Structure 1
């Protein structure tokens, strides 16, 4: 599943843009939230699945 978000509570567009991660595949560039911003967004949302995701993301370091 792909989620397209128009806003993320706790983050500004400028912050996310400045911290973005760019993946280049052939003739396509895909922009992603940085890991730091993704964790912050999930922490702000605070749902059980988000909290579990944070644990997995932090464990991946």
Structure 2
């Protein structure tokens, strides 16, 4: 069995770069504090978007 994981975060360096560095797919929760990261797989506005995004990433 092969397990797949995604990481959801709102900090472009600590969350997104960290996830990508660990080999995970990265979902960035958009906020007004940080600019959008460059190397992100998906950007969301609301956490309730995650289930459908995870289905698409399979």
TM-score for both structures, normalised by structure 2? 0.29
Larger strand fraction of residues: 2
Larger helix fraction of residues: 1
Max radius of gyration: which structure?
A: 1
TM-score for both structures, normalised by structure 1? 0.28
